[in-house]
């Protein structure tokens, strides 16, 4: 365009919203990290749940209990930590960066100040609500998706408002072409909407409680499709966008490679989505999904490193600034950590590595390399760059910023090294067999004891990091005080309008899209088509790739122009981005929703919970037990030896054992042992009392004080379970909702449900207080046996015991009843599955069938 004939206009950028988000990010960041440090100390010193703070009991007249405060137990605080850090700290930071850079990259003020305000204050209210509900034990029980359903709706609304505001700004832009940062913002908004909505689909049972509509395997798949891509599209893509804006700004250098931006953007957003199942490797997840999860994670390595390269190599020619400019220091270190974490991710996705790392602290170390290194340092770099510009002044203290960098870096290194050591040590110890090779060498608690020193080290590292971040807060505060909050006003050229004119068809019915979609279609057919046809599809896919490559060699320039044209048309770009991110999830999840449900029980079907057991299960979820206990015996020898029943060689978890679990509780970390086989059969002569691995009294003493069972346990005491009553009244509604979700509960009346729960509670209480050796209860020392029975038959601890004794119980179902080879299940008709083999043998007894 010709500048001399162009109109110009004056724009005042909205810096206020940016400042607000930035301040919010810093404030919540400190809260989130502080909660993280408390959680970390609880793992080595369980008393950090309030037990150590006995003086509080005196001060508050007993409102705080010296036995530990329910609101401060690890199971409730850990979700608060993760939510605060992800959604409050990084979320607000990303919003600050997006609001700042989008206006400048579009040369237009954010479309609506009102929407900006609603977004900003709405988000803070949501976080506040989370900070209240999570410690109160109100949770959905799915990681990073714990918030209860009314808050979910608020999140969705605020997010949509953010989206409208953002796309409206794009529509009004005075810059025809979209810069790479904006591509990443678009991918963020579109994908997070999709993930969040699907993973939060639930049916409420009350204002504070709901059940997810998915159960068992389906819930696990959806959860990690979401959970993994929350990392991808909430913690990675917006921050990559921020990197693409703030890094070249701070370094005053051009971005390393435009074409690398294109390749790594599209490959990243497409491949990332597929990698979710790597969170469920070696579990009872069907093998084809594990294969996809692992292999796509390996393919993700290069696209991730594309972002790292474009970051680090942009610094070429600006490395000298590393010495003088804390912003560059933070950015360079952050991108390095990004590279490290995205190399480690594929590594941990290899099934053999995952066998050791999964359920251990290695995973925790991995995510913190990303969260502290990549997110936290990108945030700090951006804050130090922004603050002087937002308040029109100099940074208050460069040396404080430098100090923040070094103390933070040491903190991360301590943290990550400690967690690597802890994870690998524990992973190896858990798999080590004793002399003779027939039993395991270590009890679970011995492995926990062995990693205690690293837990202490981790707390130290985390505290360092927090201290550095507090220095950042002080620095930004002092900077703001020394300056004056100002909005930037600039003169911009209004381009002649030739952007956003392209019709959708002109974008989609073009060779680059055509070849890509055709190739992907062939790939998906290769996964799903029956034997013979799948190979044909693979050959077709390879032919499409070959044809596409040769066409590109010939018409590369035209493809290039096509992509440039796409960048001037934000809606088609957004639609193509959505297509790219929607494919992976659809291919992985839809088959399990449509077809495979009945097949996926593997010969074992979960026994239904009784009303009391369901109430106990809700307590298990509410207390956040899943944060430390898995319910999944993996298909690994040490897992089956440790957690399976004696003499049963196929006692790994089968899919049908959790078919009716809404939400699924396979867990992601074992700070305590697996509980999949904790339950057991009814005791002789009873229809209500069960005895699993341990009997009711064992659990009674253990919930009261886990150190009773073993000195080295770090599980908190749960004294409040003995005081508080189980909520029987909500059970009819809960069971009604479960019935709607397809759990085959009988059509009990409300009274029946309550009566059943009370009867079972009484039976379990009797098993505790009757017989030769009744348990005691110190706070009710003078109560009669009847009083004790009355109290405890309604108590939470009895409901929880009922649940724990039911864990993993199932009945065998006839394997012949399993439907034969199922479409949309790549395992079922390939030779590798025994079932398929059996079916095949049954179908073709003669040898004439070839192969």
Partner 1 sequence: MSQSPSPKPTNPETTMNPEIKRGSYAKEKGEVILREHEFDGIQEFDQKLPNWWLFTFYGGIVWFVGYWVLYYYTGIYQTDQKGIEQQLAAIQEKKDQELAATLATLDDQTLVAKWAADPSIVAAGATTYGTNCAACHAADLSATLEAGGNKVPLPGRPLNDGHWEYGGKPMEIFKLINEGTPAASAGYNGARMQAWGQVLSPKQVAELTAYLISMNPKDFGN
Report the interhelical angle of 113-133 vs 91-106 (nearest 10°).
170
Q: How far is the CB of 574 from partner 1 (least distance, A)?
A: 18
| Binding range to partner 1, per CB under 8 A, among 62-70, 189-197, 754-762, 831-839 | 831-839
685 binds partner 1 (CB under 8 A): yes
Please name the residues in contact with 315: beta carbons below 8 A apart, sequence gap of 6 or more: 247, 251, 253, 322, 328, 331, 332
Could you tell me how far CA 206 lies from the centroid of its own chain? 25
Q: How far is the CB of 171 from partner 1 (least distance, A)?
A: 17
Q: How far is the CB of 564 from partner 1 (least distance, A)?
A: 5
What are the φ/ψ torsions at residue 831 (nearest 5 degrees)?
A: -60, -25
Of 42, 133, 261, 454, the residue at the interface with partner 1 (CB under 8 A) is 261
684 binds partner 1 (CB under 8 A): yes
Nearer to partner 1, 71 or 256 (CB): 256
CA–CA dist 786, 751 (Å, integer): 23
Nearer to partner 1, 303 or 616 (CB): 303
Nearer to partner 1, 689 or 743 (CB): 689
774 binds partner 1 (CB under 8 A): yes
260 binds partner 1 (CB under 8 A): yes
Q: Which DSSP string do the residues of 286-301 spell out, in sequence order?
A: -HHHHHHHHHHHHHHH
745 binds partner 1 (CB under 8 A): no
Could you tell me how far CA 394 lies from the centroid of its own chain? 38
CA–CA dist 109, 837 (Å, integer): 64
Residues 136-175 that bind partner 1 (CB under 8 A): 175
370 binds partner 1 (CB under 8 A): no
Residues 627-656 that bind partner 1 (CB under 8 A): 635-637, 640-641, 645-647, 649-650, 652
Nearer to partner 1, 299 or 513 (CB): 299
Nearer to partner 1, 306 or 311 (CB): 306
Of 113, 496, 498, 564, the residue at the interface with partner 1 (CB under 8 A) is 564
Residues 75-104 that bind partner 1 (CB under 8 A): 101, 104
272 binds partner 1 (CB under 8 A): no
539 binds partner 1 (CB under 8 A): no
725: tokens are: 């009553």
Residue with tokens 């913690």, as numbered in its chain: 235
SS3 of 36-105: the string is: HHHHHHHHHCHHHHCCCCHHHHHHCCCCCCCCCCHHHCHHHHHHHHHHHHHHHHHHHHHHHHHHHHHHHH
Please name the residues in contact with 420: beta carbons below 8 A apart, sequence gap of 6 or more: 362, 365
| Binding range to partner 1, per CB under 8 A, among 42-50, 144-152, 579-587, 825-833 | 825-833
CB 311, CB 242: distance < 8 Å: no
CA-based torsion, 709, 715, 716, 720: positive or negative: negative
SS3 of 584-595: the string is: HHHHHHHHHHHC
Q: How far is the CB of 777 from partner 1 (least distance, A)?
A: 9
Kindly give the residue spans of alpha helices, DSSP state H, lying in 107-179. Answer: 113-133, 149-171
834 binds partner 1 (CB under 8 A): yes
Residue with tokens 């602290």, as numbered in its chain: 361
Q: How far is the CB of 411 from partner 1 (least distance, A)?
A: 31
Of 513, 540, 775, 780, the residue at the interface with partner 1 (CB under 8 A) is 775
Of 18, 691, 721, 797, the residue at the interface with partner 1 (CB under 8 A) is 691
790 binds partner 1 (CB under 8 A): no
808 binds partner 1 (CB under 8 A): no
CB 486, CB 15: distance < 8 Å: yes
Contact flags string 219-248 toward partner 1, x per CB under 8 A: --------------------------x--x
Residues 417-476 that bind partner 1 (CB under 8 A): 434-440, 443, 445-446
Nearer to partner 1, 567 or 737 (CB): 567
811 binds partner 1 (CB under 8 A): no
CA–CA dist 402, 386 (Å, integer): 16
Q: How far is the CB of 476 from partner 1 (least distance, A)?
A: 23
491 binds partner 1 (CB under 8 A): no
849 binds partner 1 (CB under 8 A): no
Could you tell me how far CA 664 lies from the centroid of its own chain? 14
282 binds partner 1 (CB under 8 A): yes
Report the interhelical angle of 237-251 vs 91-106 (nearest 10°).
60
Residue in 142, 26, 41 with CA at minimum distance from that of residue 83: 142
249 binds partner 1 (CB under 8 A): yes
Q: How far is the CB of 310 from partner 1 (least distance, A)?
A: 9
Q: How far is the CB of 364 from partner 1 (least distance, A)?
A: 25
Contact flags string 695-714 toward partner 1, x per CB under 8 A: xxxx--xx-----xxx----
Q: Is 534 helix (H, G, I), strand (E, B) or coil?
A: helix
547 binds partner 1 (CB under 8 A): no
Number of residues that bind partner 1 (CB under 8 A): 98
C-alpha pair distances (Å), 492 with each of 3, 5, 103, 173, 488: 11, 13, 12, 11, 12
What are the φ/ψ torsions at residue 482 (nearest 5 degrees)?
A: -80, -10
């Amino acid at each position: 365009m010709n500048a001399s004939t162009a109109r110009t206009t004056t724009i005042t950028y909205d810096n206020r919203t940016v400042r607000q988000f930035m301040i919010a990010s810093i404030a919540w960041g400190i809260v989130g990290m502080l909660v993280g440090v408390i959680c970390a100390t609880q793992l080595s010193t369980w008393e950090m749940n309030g037990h150590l703070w006995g003086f509080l009991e005196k001060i508050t007249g007993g409102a705080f209990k010296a036995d530990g405060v329910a609101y401060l137990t690890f199971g409730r605080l850990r979700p608060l930590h993760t939510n605060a850090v992800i959604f409050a700290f990084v979320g607000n930071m990303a919003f600050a960066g997006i609001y700042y850079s989008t206006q400048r990259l579009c040369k237009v003020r954010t479309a609506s100040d009102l929407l900006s305000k609603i977004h900003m204050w709405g988000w803070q209210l949501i976080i506040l609500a989370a900070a209240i509900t999570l410690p109160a034990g109100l949770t959905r029980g799915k990681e990073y998706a714990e918030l209860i359903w009314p808050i979910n709706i608020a999140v969705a609304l605020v997010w949509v408002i953010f989206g409208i505001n953002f796309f409206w700004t794009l529509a009004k832009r005075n810059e025809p072409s979209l810069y790479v940062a904006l591509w990443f913002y678009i991918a963020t908004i579109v994908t997070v909407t999709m993930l969040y909505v699907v993973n939060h689909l639930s049916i409420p049972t009350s204002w504070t409680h709901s059940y997810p509509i998915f159960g068992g395997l389906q819930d696990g798949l959806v959860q990690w499709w979401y959970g993994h891509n929350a990392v991808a599209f909430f913690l990675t893509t917006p921050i990559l966008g921020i990197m693409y804006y703030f890094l070249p700004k701070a370094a005053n250098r051009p971005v390393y490679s435009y074409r690398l931006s294109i390749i790594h953007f599209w490959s990243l957003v497409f491949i990332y989505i597929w990698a979710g199942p790597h969170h469920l490797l070696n579990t009872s997840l069907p093998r084809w999904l594990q294969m996809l999860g692992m292999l796509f994670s390996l393919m993700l390595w290069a696209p991730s490193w594309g972002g790292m390269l474009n970051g680090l190599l942009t610094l070429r020619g600006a490395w000298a600034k590393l010495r003088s400019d804390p912003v560059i220091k933070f950015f360079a270190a952050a991108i390095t950590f990004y590279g490290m974490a995205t190399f480690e991710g594929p590594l941990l996705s290899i099934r053999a590595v995952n066998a050791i790392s999964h359920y251990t602290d290695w995973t925790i170390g991995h995510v913190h390399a990303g969260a502290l290194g990549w997110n936290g340092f990108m945030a700090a770099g951006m804050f130090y760059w922004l603050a002087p510009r937002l308040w029109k002044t100099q940074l208050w203290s460069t040396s404080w910023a430098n100090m923040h960098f070094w103390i933070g870096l040491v903190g991360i290194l301590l943290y990550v090294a400690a967690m690597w050591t802890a994870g690998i040590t524990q992973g190896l110890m858990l798999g080590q067999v004793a002399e003779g090779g027939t039993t395991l060498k270590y009890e679970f608690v011995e492995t926990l004891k062995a990693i205690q020193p690293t837990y202490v080290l981790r707390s130290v590292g985390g505290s360092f990091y927090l201290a550095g971040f507090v220095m950042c807060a002080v620095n930004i505060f002092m900077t703001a005080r020394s300056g004056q909050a100002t909005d930037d006003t600039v003169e911009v050229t209004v381009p002649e309008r030739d952007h956003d004119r392209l019709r959708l068809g002109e974008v989609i019915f073009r060779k680059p899209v055509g070849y890509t979609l055709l190739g992907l279609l062939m790939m998906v057919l290769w996964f799903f088509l029956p034997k013979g046809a799948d190979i044909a599809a693979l050959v077709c896919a390879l032919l499409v790739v070959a044809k596409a490559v040769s066409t590109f060699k010939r018409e590369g320039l035209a493809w290039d122009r096509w992509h440039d044209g796409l960048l001037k048309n934000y809606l088609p770009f957004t639609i193509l981005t959505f297509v790219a991110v929607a494919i992976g999830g659809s291919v992985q999840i839809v088959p399990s929703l449509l077809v495979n449900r009945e097949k996926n029980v593997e010969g074992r079907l979960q026994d239904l919970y009784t009303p009391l057991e369901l109430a106990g299960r809700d307590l298990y979820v509410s207390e956040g037990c899943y944060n430390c206990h898995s319910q999944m015996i993996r298909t690994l020898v040490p897992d089956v030896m440790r957690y399976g029943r004696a003499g049963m060689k196929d006692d790994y978890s089968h899919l049908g054992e959790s078919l009716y679990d809404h939400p699924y509780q396979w867990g992601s970390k074992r700070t305590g042992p697996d509980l999949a086989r904790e339950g057991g059969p009814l005791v002789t002569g009873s229809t209500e009392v069960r005895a699993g691995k341990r009997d009711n009294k064992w659990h009674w003493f253990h919930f009261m004080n886990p150190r009773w069972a073993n000195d080295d346990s770090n599980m908190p005491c749960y004294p409040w379970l003995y005081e508080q009553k189980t909520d029987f009244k909500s059970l009819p509604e809960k069971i009604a909702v479960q019935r709607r979700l397809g759990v085959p509960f009988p059509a009990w009346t409300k009274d029946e449900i309550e009566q059943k729960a009370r009867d079972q509670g009484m039976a379990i209480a009797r098993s505790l207080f009757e017989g030769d050796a009744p348990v005691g209860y110190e706070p009710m020392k003078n109560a009669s046996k009847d009083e004790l029975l009355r109290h405890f038959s309604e108590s939470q601890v009895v409901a929880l015991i009922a649940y724990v004794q039911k864990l993993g119980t199932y009945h065998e179902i006839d394997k012949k009843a399993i439907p034969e080879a199922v479409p949309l299940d790549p395992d079922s008709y390939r030779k590798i599955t025994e079932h398929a083999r059996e079916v095949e043998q049954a179908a073709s007894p003669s040898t004439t069938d070839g192969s």
